[in-house]
Every structure is written in C-alpha cells, then in structure tokens.
Structure 1
Amino acid sequence: MDYRSSEALAGSEAPVGPRSEDTLPSSVSAAVKVVIVGGFGVGKTTMVGSVSEIRPLTTEETMTQAGVGVDDIAGVERKTETTVAMDFGRISLNDQLVLYLFGTPGQERFWFLWDGLFEGALGAVVLIDTRRLEVSFDAVGRLEERAVPFVVAINAFPHAPVYPMSELRAAMDLPDSVPMVDCDARDRGSSRDTLLTLVRYLHSLTTVTPETP
C-alpha cells in the first residue's frame, strides 16, 4: 500500500508547523496506546495505514537477499517490503478519545523491539492469517506474559480457508473471554470496528465486579 511521503515535494515550500488534520481537537480528554501485532505479513502495516486519520509513519524497507534463509516467507513469497521498526498512526474514536496505534515488525530478528512497543500499551489487536495461523502464536504468548489485554482479528485474505471461530479459538488456546472478530485490514470501517471491539473489551475489564469471598 502506498502512502504519501513525509518529505516535501521537490520545488515546493515546506509547510510551517503541523497540518490542520494532524492537530488534536481541544475536546480530546483521553489518549490510549494500542499495539497491532502478529506474524510476518499478516497485515499490520495495512491496518495502521487504512484506519489512521493522520499520515501514517511507516518503516518499510525493500526485502533483499540478506533475508534469505533468515526470514520465513512461506505463504507470503510475493511480499517485497517489510517493517523494520514500527508503524504509527492515530484515530479519534469520538470527540474525547484518541487511539495511538503502533504496529510491530513481524520477523523474528526484530522481536527485540516488541518490549519497547508494548511499554505503556493498554491493549492490543492480534491479526491472524488462517493460512499461517502459527505465525501469530508468539505474539499472543508475549502479550499474555506482559498481561496486555488483546482481541484477535481474523484478517481477510484471498483464498484463505474459513474456519469456525470455535476451531480457531481452540487452535490458539484462547479463553472464551478474549474477543475474536472478522476483519479486513484494507478497509477503514472494518479496522475501526476491530479497534472499537478492543476498546469495549478494555472497558469491560475495568467494570468487572470482583467476586465476594
């Protein structure tokens, strides 16, 4: 997916100060950090780019021969670019609440960056590809280790097999309490609905009444 460059066009004057569309409205009272995680090539950069209301920051680089034998590209052989640090975007869910989105790199050699990206995150979206379910297992494990609440989004890929939610939940060993939804990371509305599911889930966790001993 192509995004506008952050550099000024040749021969044009660089804008002074932030663009109007990048400025937060004065009504915003809460900002939440959310991470978009998953294996290599599951659509993290696509989701951040499709839903962000500001020009997304991406750190995609062209894949080269240096990654041969290092990166597992089984199932995504046509992929030519990859995230090497993070993706960043922002979406206002209403006049008061803003989500800051951080997409993680998928290849194992960049996993050392995950801990920093998880720092301060209130929740996460785990994107999965049903053709390569196993590539997102490590993301789930790391979130569970750090006690970061998450929802699972089944990203739509052409010709990907369709399984009942119950089978996917069992394959990923997820408790019934973790929301699982269908998603098309290319579609802004679908990506926004996924983020709303996460926000509702986080809200439900804060309103659970503790059991009386």
Structure 2
Amino acid sequence: MDSALSSPPDSPPVYLPQGEHQRLKILVAGPLGIGKTTLVKSLSQIPTLHTEERMTQAAVGADSLDHDVLREKTTTTVAIDFGRMTLPGDKIVLYLYGTPGQRRFAPLWEGIAFGALGALVLVDTRRLNESWEVMDLIEERGLPYAVAVNIFPDSPTHDLADIRSSLDLAPETPLVTCDAREKHSSLNALIELTAHAITVAGVEVS
C-alpha cells in the first residue's frame, strides 16, 4: 500500500493556535471517485497524507467503473486521507479523515470513525444511488452528517429539494453544493457540517 505526503500547500503550513481550542475529528466520506482526496487536499493547512493502491482486475465485481467519470481512474484510497485545518477564530481545529465508502471496508471504517464528531458525505448527481451505502454506514454508527453535492463539469443540475427527496434526507440534515477543488467552497460545506454536528453533540465552544 502506498502511503505518501502530498506536496506542500501553496501557503506555509499553519501551526496549531496558541491557547485553548476545541479539537474535532471529521470524516469526509462518499463512494469511489467522488472527490474525497481532492476536498481534504484543498482544505488542509498541512501537507496531506494519502494511502492509495493501484486498481487491478481484483476490483472487478467489487467496484463498478462503468460510469464515464471512473473509467480512467487508476488508484483508490484504501485507508485514509488525512489533513488538518483551523477554522476562522482559532477556536476549532479540525482533523480531516477521508475514508473509503464501500461496506467491505467497514472494519477499517469503524476504527477511523471512532471519536468523530460527524461526517461530510460527498455525492454526485450523476450517481446518487452510489451514496446510499456510505450513508447507511454513517447512520448505523449514529454519526451526524451533512451532504455536499460535489459539482463536476458535466453533472446535471437539480434543485436541492429534489436531491434531498431522492436521498431521503431528514429535514435537519444540511444539504449544500460545493466544488471540492475550491477551498472556500469546500470550507462552506465543512462549516455547515461542523455547526450541525456541534449542535447535535452539545459541544460548547467559547
């Protein structure tokens, strides 16, 4: 298994703030090729850690690559992506863990999910049905989550109310759009999740 650090971010790494702050563990989840690695990399203030394997014929029957967006995919995350960022105000530090979304990784997923405040689930309007598996894992674990519709160039646009209905989301579950390549867009999605998860958990942040 390949484990590697990404290239350094464009700006110098941001060190943990001085003084008191709340450290929170956040999962970034979703099906194969949904943009988890990209989102963690776009948000992290430190060089990100990635654990990837080259996809081989052994994946046939386990992972479907029939969709156009996946046909040229050659590697996949088999453990985690890891990054870290401090939210504006230096009061909340987020540890970001990108996780595989397939149920066969459930034993690994359970370990990664332990102690997490919540999960940001990425979805693609071209293949919403592929998100149900990871959403089931999160709900079984009892984690609060938000859903972010990752915007791809050829993704059809749908009203968020229709997407909420298709995914059968609870009214209180945040649903937003984002571009995983763009830091500010990804940050807005993460803030929605963090606010929701903190409310559900009753965490006090001064």
Task: State the TM-score bracket (shorter-chain normalisation).
Answer: 0.7 to 0.9
- Give, in whole Å, the separation in 2 of the partners of 1:127 and 1:98: 21
Following superposition, the deviation at residue 70 of structure 1 comes to 2.7
Q: Partners of 2:152 and 2:106 in 1: how far apart?
A: 24
Larger radius of gyration: 1
> 1:138 and 1:109 mapped to 2: Cα distance?
10
Question: 2:72 matched to which residue of 1?
Answer: 78
1:194-205 equivalent positions in 2, closer than 5 A: 194-205=189-200
Describe the shift of the 1:28–1:79 C-alpha distance in structure 2 as closer, same or farther (beyond 3 A).
farther
Provide closer, same or farther for how the CA distance between residues 28 and 191 of structure 1 changes in structure 2, counting only shifts above 3 A: farther
Aligned residues: 192
- Please give the root-mean-square deviation of Cα atoms over the aligned residues, in Å: 1.9
Q: Is the 8 A contact 2:102 2:134 kept in 1?
A: no
Distance 1:140 1:70 in 2: 18
SS of the residue aligned with 2:152?
coil
TM superposition shift of 1:195: 0.8
- Counterpart of 2:46 in structure 1 is 54
The AA in structure 1 aligned to 2:108 is L
Worse overlay, 68-77 or 92-101 = 68-77
Superposition pairs of residues 169-208 of structure 1, within 5 angstroms:
169-205=164-200
Question: Aligned AA for 1:174?
Answer: L
How far off its partner does 1:108 sit?
4.3
Give the number of the structure whose residues are more often strand, by fraction.
2
Q: Distance in 1 between the 2:20 and 2:44 partners?
A: 16
Determine which of 3, 22, 25 is the counterpart of 2:17.
25
Q: How many Å apart are 1:107 and its aligned residue?
A: 4.0
Aligned to 2:87: 93
| Equivalent position to 2:162, from 158, 161, 167 | 167
Residue 196 of structure 1: SS of its match in structure 2?
helix
How far, CA to CA, are the matches of 1:52 and 1:73 in structure 2?
28
- From 3, 6, 13, the equivalent of 1:3 is 6
- How far apart in 1 are the matches of 2:51 and 2:97? 11
TM-score, length-scaled by structure 1? 0.83
Classify 1:146/1:110 alpha carbon distance in 2 versus 1 (closer, same or farther; 3 Å): closer
| TM-score relative to the length of structure 2 | 0.86
1:63 aligns with 2:58: no
SS in 2 for 1:124: strand
Which residue identity does 2:123 align to in structure 1?
Answer: I
Q: Give the deviation of 1:175 after TM superposition.
A: 1.3
Query: Are the aligned partners of 1:34 and 1:101 in contact in 2 as well (CA < 8 Å)?
Result: yes
Question: Percentage identity across aligned positions?
Answer: 45
Deviation at 1:110, TM superposition (A): 2.7
SS state at 2:192 partner = helix
User: Closer, same or farther in 2 for the Cα pair 1:114/1:96, shift >3 Å?
Assistant: same
In 2 relative to 1, CA 28–144 (structure 1 residues): closer, same or farther, beyond 3 Å? Answer: same
Label 1:203 to 1:112 Cα distance change in 2 as closer, same or farther (>3 A).
closer
> Shift in Å at residue 72 of structure 1?
1.4
Provide the rounded CA distance (Å) in 2 between the counterparts of 1:153 and 1:23: 28
Gaps of 5+ in 1: 6-19, 208-213
Structure 1 residue 142, shift from structure 2 partner: 1.5
Could you tell me which amino acid in structure 2 is paired with residue 129 of structure 1? D
